Structure 1
Amino acid sequence: MRRSEFDRAVAEEFGGGAAFVLTDVSLPGCGGRTAARALADGDAPREVWLALCAEMDVPGSRRYGVGRLDPRSR
């Protein structure tokens, strides 16, 4: 997962609350850091996304493959 995909996935999943989720929710899967801190510390966006999903009870069906753009039609 690229950082841009992470950002899209967070925006799609959490909408207007995305900023709060990134900066205020402590993630046990990231050593108790917030998603924003974990990313700033160099953690992989995919690992942070999965930790965020686990903490926020995002269903498995919405955890994988999100954030990707639809392929361009030829």
Structure 2
Amino acid sequence: MRLTDFWSRMHRHFGEAYAESWAKDYVIAALDGRTVEQALADGVGAKQVWRAVCTVVDVDPKLR
């Protein structure tokens, strides 16, 4: 998954403004206690991060 696709899915699920805030603040256990931003900055793949997001929020199956 490309990073642009990841952010597109985040924006579609959370909304344009909230996606950025959520990615910055919400800690996900499946990402070793990191936020989305931290995991991506540490080199975790966008697909792995998206899967982790899907485990903690009810994402529309069309976006999974």
> TM-score, normalization: structure 2?
0.88
User: Radius of gyration: which is bigger?
Assistant: 1
What is the number of equivalent residue pairs in this alignment?
63
Query: Alpha carbons of 1:57 and 1:30: their partners in 2 closer, same or farther (altered >3 Å)?
Result: same
Other-structure match for 1:4: 4
Structure with the bigger RCO (C-alpha within 8 Å, sep 6+) is 1
Moved >2 Å (runs of 4+): none
Identity value in percent: 33
Q: Which runs of 5+ in 2 are unaligned?
A: none
Query: Alpha carbons of 1:62 and 1:25: their partners in 2 closer, same or farther (altered >3 Å)?
Result: farther
Equivalent-residue separation in structure 2 for 1:57 and 1:31 (angstroms): 20
Question: What is the CA distance between 1:63 and its match in structure 2?
Answer: 4.0
Does residue 32 in structure 1 map to residue 33 in structure 2? yes
Question: What is the CA distance between 1:19 and its match in structure 2?
Answer: 1.3
Q: Which runs of 5+ in 1 are unaligned?
A: 65-74
Higher helix share: 2
Question: What is the CA distance between 1:56 and its match in structure 2?
Answer: 1.7
Question: What is the CA distance between 1:20 and its match in structure 2?
Answer: 1.6
Question: What is the CA distance between 1:17 and its match in structure 2?
Answer: 1.2
Q: Deviations over 1:7-58 (max 9, x none)?
A: 1010011003101210010011100100000000000000001101111232
